[in-house]
């Protein structure tokens, strides 16, 4: 029991640290290659912050642990909205821009419903995975095109300023890319092994471990960046970070896992976890449009508390369901 716990904790710590080094090295390498600062922010950093979920789910799928592969992705989505967005808005209320309500939230909601519909027959086939990845590729191409078409010099200059603050020689950047990637894979392997062994020791399914400990651990980069953005009053970054991560998890993380190995989908994932994820996603519309009145256009502290209560209730539901058979 002790060894799996140590492996799980060590894996999480190394995973977060290596992901940070990988992002810094990749961004610096892309800058040396002449990529525009705006594209580095949209593509390189965006992919890098979701690297923990991607590597953990890919390895879990390859090793025949569908519970961790899917639980990590969908659990991270629930964690991002209920826990991370809730904590961030509790620190400082987050404004919800009209553009988010018109574009990003409808897209995320449609993608979530589409992904759940694909899984409804109880299997994630390679065809399903290919469809998810195709939608992701289309959205990424559209996002990059929109970003370049509506590019603002001020935004590009701001991203350039942030990259300049972390400037490093090409040789050092490439070293961090290699070291970060190697540690990402190694720490993910350690994390998956610890999670599977811990689940066996506790007599619970690996899905429960994936939805809770692994999901929170792989979401730590999003938690750190969203809290920092909320403190600085950068509402677009705090909210966009969560919405972008959920899109990546739903399409790319699950898609890659399914392409590596077709996955059987437990019924509980459909009627419990997918329903909670969908409900939380749609609840952002209610919060954003401010149907309660005073909170129009922002996630206030009252609504943030509601999100946190929802997360605690969901986690308690998982824990009670896990220990009930043993009683």
pLDDT value at position 326?
43
> What's the pTM value of the predicted model, to 2 decimals?
0.82
pLDDT value at position 240?
77
Which residues does the chain have with pLDDT short of 70? Answer: 30, 33-49, 98-101, 147-167, 290-296, 323-327
Q: State which residues form the domain around 117.
A: 2-326
Q: How many domains does the chain have?
A: 1
Cβ-Cβ contacts under 8 Å for 279 (sequence gap 6 or more): none
DSSP notation for 70-91 = HHHHHHHHHIIIIIIIHHHHHH
Contact present, 23 and 44 (Cβ < 8 Å): yes
pLDDT value at position 120?
92
Instruction: Give the model confidence (pLDDT) of 46-71 as tens digits.
Output: 666 677 888 888 888 888 888 888 99
pLDDT value at position 45?
61
For residue 97, the domain's CATH number is 1.20.1420.30
Rounded distance, CA 55 to CA 323, Å?
Answer: 29
pLDDT value at position 66?
85
Contact present, 212 and 36 (Cβ < 8 Å): no
Contact present, 57 and 256 (Cβ < 8 Å): yes
How many Cα atoms are found within 13 Å in the side-chain-facing hemisphere of 130? Answer: 3
Rounded distance, CA 101 to CA 116, Å?
Answer: 22
Instruction: Give me the chain's average pLDDT, please.
Output: 81
């Amino acid at each position: 029991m002790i060894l799996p716990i140590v492996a799980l904790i060590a894996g999480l710590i190394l995973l977060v640290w290596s992901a940070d080094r990988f992002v810094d090295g990749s961004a610096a390498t892309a800058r040396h290659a002449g990529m525009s600062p705006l594209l580095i922010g949209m593509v390189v950093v965006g992919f890098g912050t979701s690297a923990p979920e991607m590597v953990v789910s890919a390895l879990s799928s390859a090793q025949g642990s569908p519970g961790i592969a899917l639980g990590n992705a969908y659990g991270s989505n629930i964690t991002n909205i209920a826990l991370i967005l809730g904590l961030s808005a509790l620190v400082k209320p987050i404004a919800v821009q009209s553009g988010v309500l018109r574009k990003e939230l409808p897209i995320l909601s449609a993608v979530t419903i589409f992904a759940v519909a694909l899984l409804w027959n109880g299997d994630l086939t390679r065809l399903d995975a290919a469809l998810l990845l195709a939608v992701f590729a289309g959205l990424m191409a559209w996002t990059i095109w929109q970003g370049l078409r509506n590019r603002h010099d001020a935004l590009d200059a701001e991203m350039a300023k942030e990259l300049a603050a972390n400037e490093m020689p090409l040789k050092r950047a490439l070293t961090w890319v290699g070291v970060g990637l190697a540690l990402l894979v190694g720490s993910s392997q350690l994390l998956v092994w610890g999670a599977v062994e811990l689940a066996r020791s506790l007599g619970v399914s690996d899905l429960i471990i994936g939805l809770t400990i692994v999901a929170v651990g792989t979401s730590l980069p999003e938690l750190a960046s969203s809290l920092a953005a909320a403190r600085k009053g950068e509402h677009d970054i705090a909210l966009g970070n969560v919405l972008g991560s959920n899109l990546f998890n739903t399409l790319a993380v699950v898609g890659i896992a399914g392409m590596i190995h077709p996955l059987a989908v437990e019924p509980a994932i459909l009627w419990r976890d997918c329903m909670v994820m969908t409900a939380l996603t749609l609840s952002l519309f209610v919060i954003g449009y401010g149907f309660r009145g005073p909170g129009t256009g922002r996630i206030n502290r009252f609504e943030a508390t509601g999100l946190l209560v929802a997360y605690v209730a969901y986690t308690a539901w998982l824990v009670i369901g896990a220990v009930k058979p043993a009683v």
